[in-house]
A and B are shown apart, each in its own frame.
Chain A
Amino acid sequence: ETGVTQTPRHLVMGMTNKKSLKCEQHLGHNAMYWYKQSAKKPLELMFVYNFKEQTENNSVPSRFSPECPNSSHLFLHLHTLQPEDSALYLCASSQSRGGPQHFGDGTRLSIL
Chain B
Amino acid sequence: KNEVEQSPQNLTAQEGEFITINCSYSVGISALHWLQQHPGGGIVSLFMLSSGKKKHGRLIATINIQEKHSSLHITASHPRDSAVYICALYNNNDMRFGAGTRLTVKP
Measuring CB to CB, which residues of chain A are less than 8 angstroms from any residue of chain B?
Answer: 2, 37, 40-45, 48, 55-56, 88, 90, 92, 97-98, 100-106, 108
Q: Is the CB of B86 within 8 A of A43?
A: yes
Write out the residue numbers on chain A whose beta carbons fall within 8 Å of the beta carbon of B90.
98
B12, CB-defined interface residue at 8 Å: no
Alpha-carbon separation in the docked complex, A105 to B98 (Å)? 19
Query: B30, B31, B92, B97: which contacts A43 (Cβ < 8 A)?
Result: B97
Provide a sorted-by-A list of 22 A–B residue pairs whose CB atoms are within 8 angstroms: A2-B42, A37-B41, A40-B99, A42-B4, A42-B86, A42-B99, A42-B100, A43-B86, A45-B95, A56-B93, A88-B41, A90-B41, A98-B30, A98-B31, A98-B90, A98-B92, A100-B33, A100-B45, A100-B48, A102-B45, A106-B43, A108-B41
| Contact A105 B40, CB 8 Å, known A42-B99, A98-B30, A100-B45 | yes
Please encode chain B, from 19 to 30, with 1 for each CB lying within 8 Å of some chain A CB and 0 for all others.
Answer: 000000000001
CB contact list, B37-70 vs A, under 8 A: 40-45, 48
Q: Is the interface of B mostly helix, strand, loop or mixed?
A: strand
- Look across to chain B and name the residue whose beta carbon is closest to the beta carbon of A41: B99
Size bin of chain B's contact surface: 20 to 34
| Contact A103 B44, CB 8 Å, known A43-B86, A98-B30 | yes
CB within 8 Å: A-B pair count: 48
Measuring CB to CB, which residues of chain B are less than 8 angstroms from any residue of chain A?
Answer: 4, 30-31, 33, 35, 40-45, 48, 86, 88, 90, 92-93, 95, 97-100
